[in-house]
Amino acid sequence: MKKNDKKRKLKYAISTVFFLIVTILDVFDLYNDIFNGRGHTIKDLIWLVILILATCGNYYLMKDVGTIDDDDERDAYVEMKTNSMMFNILNWIIIIASIVFSVWGVILYSRNGNETLAFTLIIIGAVLSAIWILTIIINFIVWAVNYHKN
């Protein structure tokens, strides 16, 4: 890998970690707003979606730096063996389900009489968000170990 590519990859890695930390803080702020009834939930939900997109964008830019478009047979074999495509699809399903459950819970919470179901949906969304954040952290740790081995 070229020296310039290493710098770019490090820059994207740092920005990914930064946006991931800000996303985690915004998730805590969102659920704090929901459970304390402060009324900033829509604004925090919009920021959460923007931060998740920024985190994903920087993460995938970091992974693409220094790769060649034409993969040889060995690269295709390694990709097939590790099933990285399935992992990426699972990450997207988890984050979309998290957003859907959270939005559904916020909508139900704003209506009277649906607090129990709303809290359940919000907690499910929070758990799915935590699982997504954990998978990104694990994948980042694996990338860092492989990066330092090479």
Q: Cβ distance 129 to 27 under 8 Å? A: yes
Q: How far apart are CA 51 and CA 45, in angstroms?
A: 10
pTM over 0.95: no
Closest CA to 26 of 131, 129, 138, 132: 129
Contact indicator for 58, 16 with CB cutoff of 8 Å: yes
For 23, residues 6+ apart whose C-beta sits below 8 A from its C-beta are 48, 51, 52, 55, 133
C-beta atoms surrounding 85 within 10 Å:
10
Residue 69 has pLDDT above 60, yes or no: no
* C-alpha span between 124 and 102 (Å, rounded): 8
pLDDT at 116 over 50: yes
Average pLDDT score over the chain: 81
